[in-house]
Structure 1
Amino acid sequence: MAHKKPIDIVYYRKKGWLNVGRTRMVMFDLLQGFYILQKVIKREVGENASYLIFQAGIKGGLSFLEPMLQSGRIQPGPQGFADGLSVFTDGGFGYFKIEEMNWDAGWAKIICESSVEGWISYRKRSKARKPVCHYSRGIILGFMQVTHRYAGTELENALDCVEISCLATGDGRCEFIIGTRDALRSQGCEPPGPRKSIQEQLRERVSEKTRQIQEANRFNERILRNAPVGIFTLNSRGEITSANLAMSRIFGAGRRELVGAAVSKQEEFFSPELLAHLERGLRGIRFELADCPVVSRGRGPRFIAAKGIPLKNSRGTYDGLL
C-alpha cells in the first residue's frame, strides 16, 4: 500500500459524502458527540459499557481492513497491520506508532500520545482510575486479528489487547500491547475476561427474580396454610381465591369447596352483616369486627373476630381483600 499524505486520502466524494480512502466517514465532534455517546451507553448498560465499546472497536477494525485485504490493496502480514494503523492515524484517532512488533507471534506494542479517548478524558478534567481507550484498543486488535485471518495463521481467536498506560489516568501517553492471551499473562497483563451480553444478563436477572418470587409465594402459602387463625382472600369479583385449613374448620367445609366460590352465594356460611363488610372491603374500606356471626356446617352459628384488609395491585387500584 503506497503511503499517502492525509490530505490525499481524505476527500469529498460529493456533497454530504466524506471519504477516508474508500471508506465513507463523518465529521463527529469528540467532546459533544463521541463523549456524550459513551456516557449514554454507560448509563444504559452500566459496567458493561467498556466491553461493549471494545467489541464495537474490534468489529470496526475488522470491517475497515477486510475490503482492502480482499481487494489486494494491502497484504496480510506485518506491513498490512502497519498500513491499517497508519490509516487509523490519518483518520484523526491519534498518532499511533508501533514501538515493538513480532507479527508472526501476534505480538505488538503500540504507543499513542494523542488518543482521542484519553484526550477527551483529559479535556473533561476527569481523571480515570483505569485506562479508557476501549474503542481504540478494539480497533487495533481488529487490525491484528484480520491480518492473521487472511494470512491463515489460526492465531486470530487467541489474540487480545490490553492498555497498560493511558492519558486519562495521568500517564504521559497511551500504551497498548497485543498478543496471545497466554503471552499477555506471561508479561503480567491480564486481559479482561469475556462478559455476558445484556440479553443474557437480563434473562438471568429475570430468572433469579422469578425464582425469588416463587420462593416468597411458597413461603407465604406455608404461612397461610399453617396459620392458627382462619385466613381467606377474595378477588375483585368477590370469589374466594385461597383459604387455609383453619378457615375450613371454622366453616366446616373443605378448601376445595370454598376456593373459587363467590361469597355472595355462600349464605350458608356468611351472615348478611359479614357479607356487607366484605363488599365494602372490596371497595377499599378496611374493617374490624368483634363477635361477627358466621355459620359452621354441622355446628350452627358461631361468633368470630374478623378483620378485612383491602389489597392493591401494581396500578394502585383495589382488586382483592384479605
Structure 2
Amino acid sequence: MDKERDFINFVRRGWIEVGGARMSLVDIKGGFYGMREVLAREVGDTADDLVCHAGIQGSTSFVSSSIETKELTPDENGFISAVETYSESGFGNFQIAELFWSKGWAIIRCADSFEGWAYAANNNLQSRSKCDYTRGVLQAFMRDTHRHAQTGIEELSVVETKCIGKGDKECEFLIGVPADIEACGYEIAEPKTSIKEKLERTVALLRESNLRLMRAEMQYRAVFDNIMNPIVIVDERLSVRNCNKPAEDFLCSRRSEMAGKNISEYLPAAHGVSLDEKIQEALKADNCIDFEIEVHTCRGKTEPCKIRICPIHAGLTIEFQKLSEAEG
C-alpha cells in the first residue's frame, strides 16, 4: 500500500476521498434512516434489494479505484483492509470472526452497524434484518477482490443472520458461495420483483383482461340481440343505455339514435296506463312488476302487450311481449 497517500484524504473543501473514491458524510439517524423509510413506503419490500444493490455499486467503485491506486490489493489482505476502511469510515465496528478468502467465505460481526443502529435508535425494531446496504458492501468486497485476482469465484451471496435492528445484540453476516451458505441452514432470498416488472406484469394483465371483456361483450351482444322480445335498458334517469335488435324494430329507432335520450320519447302510447308511472313504481318497489296493456305502436297498430319492468344495478330493464306471441 502506498504510505505517501492518506487512505482517507481530505482533497479540498467539499471533497473527501476514501481509497481514491469520492465520499461524503451522511446523518444516519435522520438522513439515511429517513431516506430508507421513504423508499420502503414508495416501493415496499423491493426497497431491501434496491438498498443492497446501492451498496454493491458503491463498494465496487471503491474497490476498483483503490486497487487501481494500489491502496488495496486483490487478495485476502485487500478484503481485510476494505472491511477495516468501512469501519473507519463510520459505518460500524465490523470484526472479521472467520475468514477463508480463497473459498470466498467469511463471517463478520458488528455490535453497532449503522443501519441496524438507526432502527434501534428510532425505536422502530423490525421483524427481519435491515442492514441491506452493508450486505451489498460486504458482498462487493469479497466478489471484487476475487474478480481482480481472477480466481474464478464470482457468484457470492451475503445473509444477515442477526441484526440489532430487530433486537439482537449484534449483527452477523455470512459471506460465501450459495452452496456453502445453504449448507449452514440459511436460505438465500430470491430477488424481489422490481416496480418496473410489476408494472409490466400489471399492464399485461390489463391487456388480457380487456381482451376477455371484449370477447365477453361480443358474446353478450350476440345473446342479447337474439332474445326475441324487445328489451330496453335505461339508467336511473331513464336515459337509454342499450337495447336489442327487436327493440329497435318495436320502437322504430336505432339504438345509436336512442342512446342517452329519455325512454319516454320512444315509449308507445298506452290505453289508460302511464308507462312513466309504471317505471317509477318499479323503481320505488325495487322489484319487477308485470302488467298488460294495449299500446299504439310506432307503426300505427294497436296491440295488447305484456310488459315487465325490472330494477337492475343503476337502472331498469323494460321488456315488451306481444300477448299474441306469449299465448302462442
With structure 1 as the length reference, what TM-score do the two structures score? 0.73
Once superposed, what is the RMSD of the aligned Cα atoms?
3.8
SS in 2 for 1:27: coil
Question: Would the aligned equivalents of 1:55 and 1:138 in 2 still touch at CA under 8 Å?
Answer: yes
Q: Which residue of 2 is the match for residue 316 of structure 1? A: none
Q: Which residue of 2 is the match for residue 30 of structure 1? A: 28
Alpha-carbon distance in structure 2 between the residues aligned to 1:159 and 1:103: 12
Question: Would the aligned equivalents of 1:292 and 1:306 in 2 still touch at CA under 8 Å?
Answer: no
Alpha-carbon distance in structure 1 between the residues aligned to 2:66 and 2:174: 24
Point out the structure with max Rg over C-alpha. Answer: 2
Question: Would the aligned equivalents of 1:271 and 1:294 in 2 still touch at CA under 8 Å?
Answer: no
Instruction: Tell me the amino acid that sits aligned with residue 111 of structure 1.
Output: R
Listed as ranges, the matches of 1:302-313 within 5 Å are: none
With structure 2 as the length reference, what TM-score do the two structures score? 0.72
Question: Would the aligned equivalents of 1:230 and 1:244 in 2 still touch at CA under 8 Å?
Answer: yes
**1:18, CA displacement in angstroms?**
2.9
**1:221, CA displacement in angstroms?**
5.0
**1:23, CA displacement in angstroms?**
2.4
The answer as to 2:177 corresponding to 1:176 is no
**1:3, CA displacement in angstroms?**
8.0
Alpha-carbon distance in structure 2 between the residues aligned to 1:84 and 1:4: 18
Paired residue for 1:126, among 124, 127, 143?
A: 124
Question: Would the aligned equivalents of 1:131 and 1:166 in 2 still touch at CA under 8 Å?
Answer: yes
Question: Would the aligned equivalents of 1:166 and 1:174 in 2 still touch at CA under 8 Å?
Answer: yes
The answer as to 2:88 corresponding to 1:87 is no
Alpha-carbon distance in structure 2 between the residues aligned to 1:297 and 1:182: 84
Q: Which residue of 2 is the match for residue 145 of structure 1? A: 143
Alpha-carbon distance in structure 2 between the residues aligned to 1:154 and 1:79: 18
With over 3 angstroms needed to count, the CA separation of the structure-2 counterparts of 1:101 and 1:246, relative to structure 1, is farther
With over 3 angstroms needed to count, the CA separation of the structure-2 counterparts of 1:73 and 1:15, relative to structure 1, is closer
Question: Would the aligned equivalents of 1:226 and 1:244 in 2 still touch at CA under 8 Å?
Answer: no
Encode CA deviations 1:120-155: one digit per residue, 9 max, x unaligned.
Answer: 111112222111101111111011111111111222
Q: Which residue of 2 is the match for residue 192 of structure 1? A: 189
Alpha-carbon distance in structure 2 between the residues aligned to 1:262 and 1:216: 25
**1:225, CA displacement in angstroms?**
4.3
Alpha-carbon distance in structure 1 between the residues aligned to 2:294 and 2:133: 72
Alpha-carbon distance in structure 1 between the residues aligned to 2:98 and 2:195: 36
**1:81, CA displacement in angstroms?**
1.0
Alpha-carbon distance in structure 2 between the residues aligned to 1:292 and 1:135: 81
The answer as to 2:244 corresponding to 1:244 is yes
Instruction: Tell me the amino acid that sits aligned with residue 182 of structure 1.
Output: A
With over 3 angstroms needed to count, the CA separation of the structure-2 counterparts of 1:273 and 1:113, relative to structure 1, is same
Encode CA deviations 1:63-101: one digit per residue, 9 max, x unaligned.
Answer: 111112233332211111111111111110001121111
With over 3 angstroms needed to count, the CA separation of the structure-2 counterparts of 1:222 and 1:294, relative to structure 1, is farther
Alpha-carbon distance in structure 2 between the residues aligned to 1:9 and 1:102: 25
With over 3 angstroms needed to count, the CA separation of the structure-2 counterparts of 1:59 and 1:35, relative to structure 1, is same
Question: Would the aligned equivalents of 2:162 and 2:170 in 1 still touch at CA under 8 Å?
Answer: yes
Q: How many residues align?
A: 285
Moved more, 36-45 or 126-135: 126-135
Percentage identity across aligned positions? 30
Alpha-carbon distance in structure 1 between the residues aligned to 2:110 and 2:264: 85
Structure 2: runs of 5+ lacking an equivalent: 268-278, 283-292, 319-328
Q: Which residue of 1 is the match for residue 163 of structure 2? A: 166
